[in-house]
């Protein structure tokens, strides 16, 4: 049996639309007649993201972990797995790929293993978990999902990234110029 293919939507920051893009891809494939299954998605309370998951088959996660056994038993053509950087999630995805099932997933750029020290140095906090670069390099497609700092600020202000009661704290604790360090537009610019 051939290994499944891996597509990763990578973003420089939370809220740029990685999960939404993954769900859009799921709908496009389903409309072409492909059997698509949501194996894990976290809408983080975002109404638009939650609505975009509607109409796609879904299994429940096991305390946040992908129920790999249920995915393998269901055998979809494509599994949608949000948050590749979550603890051990890349291993769950690897098992699904080994079973010949294609996977579409999301990843924050700061969760790449090789950037762990850089992210830690810039933000003062170490990412909770990371994904080995070798695993990401095996992806057939990696697509950058990004938006301008102003657009991201608007999304934050409208409560489209975090609940309204967390917006001020998120902006106060935001990494300064982290995007410029990685060669992409800055997510937050404190000079404005």
What CATH number is associated with residue 18? 3.40.50.300
pLDDT score, position 10 = 96
What pLDDT does residue 128 have?
A: 82
What pLDDT does residue 173 have?
56
Cα–Cα dist 22/53, whole Å: 10
- At residue 96, the pLDDT reads 98
Residue 189 lies in a domain: no
Q: What is the pTM of this model?
A: 0.84
Asked if residue 1 belongs to a domain, the reply is no
Q: Are 97 and 136 in contact (CB under 8 A)?
A: no
Task: Provide the pLDDT for residue 186.
Answer: 39
Q: Residue 190 domain-assigned?
A: no
| pLDDT confidence of residue 64 | 86
Q: What pLDDT sits at residue 160?
A: 77
- Residue 27, CB-side half-sphere exposure with 13 Å CA sphere: 12
Q: What is the pLDDT at residue 149?
A: 79
For the chain, the domain total comes to 1
Domain that holds residue 22: 6-181
pLDDT at 120: 77
* Residue in the structure block whose two tokens are 């600020």: 153
Per-residue pLDDT, 189: 36
Residue 145 belongs to some domain of the structure: yes
Residue 67 forms part of a structural domain = yes
Asked if residue 147 is part of any domain, the answer here is yes
Distance from C-alpha of 57 to C-alpha of 29, rounded to nearest angstrom: 13
Could you tell me if residue 188 is inside a domain?
A: no
Residue by residue, pLDDT tens for the chain (192 residues) are 899 999 999 998 788 999 999 999 999 999 999 999 999 998 887 888 889 999 999 999 888 899 999 999 999 999 999 999 999 999 999 999 999 999 999 999 889 999 888 877 877 777 788 999 999 999 999 999 988 878 887 887 777 777 777 767 666 655 443 344 344 443 433 333
Whether residue 168 is contained in a domain is answered as yes
């Amino acid at each position: 049996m051939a290994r499944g293919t891996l597509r990763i939507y990578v973003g420089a920051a939370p809220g740029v639309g990685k999960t939404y893009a993954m769900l859009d891809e799921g709908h496009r494939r389903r409309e072409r007649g492909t059997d698509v299954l949501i194996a894990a998605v976290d809408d983080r309370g975002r109404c638009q993201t939650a609505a975009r998951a509607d109409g796609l088959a879904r299994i429940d996660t096991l305390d946040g972990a992908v129920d790999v056994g249920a995915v393998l038993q269901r055998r979809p053509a494509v599994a949608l797995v949000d948050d590749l950087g979550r603890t051990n999630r890349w291993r769950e995805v690897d098992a699904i790929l080994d079973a010949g099932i294609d996977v579409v997933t999301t990843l924050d750029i700061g969760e790449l293993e090789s950037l762990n020290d850089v992210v830690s140095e810039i933000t003062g906090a170490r990412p909770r978990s990371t994904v080995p670069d070798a695993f990401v390099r095996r992806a057939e497609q990696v697509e950058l999902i990004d938006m301008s700092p102003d657009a991201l600020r608007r999304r934050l202000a409208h409560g489209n990234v975090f609940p309204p009661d967390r917006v001020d704290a998120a902006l106060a604790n935001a990494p300064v110029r982290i995007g410029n360090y990685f060669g992409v537009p800055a997510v937050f610019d404190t000079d404005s």
